[in-house]
Amino acid sequence: MNKIAYLWLWIENSKSITDMKKFFTIVLAASMLLIGSNTYAQKWTAGGGFTSFSLSGADSKKSMDESVPGFYFGVNYDYAFSTIEGLTVEPGLYFIHYGKDAELPVGSKSYRANYLRVPINIKYTLPFDSNISVAAFTGPRFNMALGGNMFSKGETYPSLKNFDAQWGFGISAVIVDAIMLRAGYDLGLTKCIKNKTKHPEWENDLKAYRNTFYIGVGFAF
């Protein structure tokens, strides 16, 4: 029985997985197995760039009216899992920081949030010539809080949950087999605002989802 089969058997036997940290651990384990279970792997890429997030949903305006900018950096690994040329799976690991100073009805407020992100993309790459190739990708993103005041419950604004999930879409281009340009948009899948903050308007489960835009540059090796 190979590594992936052992992982699947373990997940099937864990019927009571409810804690998000356990779920996040499964995602990391699956990513590492993908990296280590095939010798026909393609390449690593490392890079960073600009990102921002905004909220959507029926209650998003109660939480935040504007986007919050930031930066990211991390690594991806292209892994050929299929006989179809150009089709790969691309797990990654990223650090993301968001920060903004905003004026609220009750005064000024500094927003700060740090995340650890694990994206798992299905990616298709199409070479144009020996120097340029382009790719489209899609897949889930799993985000875990690493700190920042946007995760602490306050009286003047609701706070973000420590875990959320998104589904992303993006495009990338590799030039001379070394420089990668990348852009994408991630749609929130899970509600991102904590319940029962101190303000009475936010006692109930708010319907707000975190959407992310990013653009960056990296290097393939």
Q: Return the higher-pLDDT residue of 125 and 25.
A: 125
**What is the model's pTM?**
0.76
Note the Cα 167 to chain centre separation in Å: 8
The 10s digit of each residue's pLDDT in 163-174 is 999 999 999 999
Share of the chain above pLDDT 70, in %: 68
Contact 195, 151 (CB under 8 A): no
Q: Given this structure, which CATH class describes domain 41-220?
A: mainly beta
> Which pair of structure tokens corresponds to residue 91?
């797990």
User: Is the dihedral angle over the CA atoms 94, 95, 100, 105 positive or is it negative?
Assistant: positive
Most confident of 36-40, 130-134, 137-141: 137-141
DSSP states along 168-188? EEEEEEEETTTEEEEEEEEEE
- Is the pLDDT assigned to residue 16 strictly greater than 50? no
Evaluate whether 147 touches 114 at the Cβ level (below 8 Å). yes
Which sequence spans correspond to the domains of the chain?
1-37, 41-220
Res 212 pLDDT > 80: yes
Query: What's the rounded Cα separation, in Å, for the pair 120 and 116?
Result: 13
Q: What is the pLDDT of residues 62-115, one digit of tens each?
A: 666 678 899 999 999 998 887 888 899 999 999 999 998 866 555 567 788 999
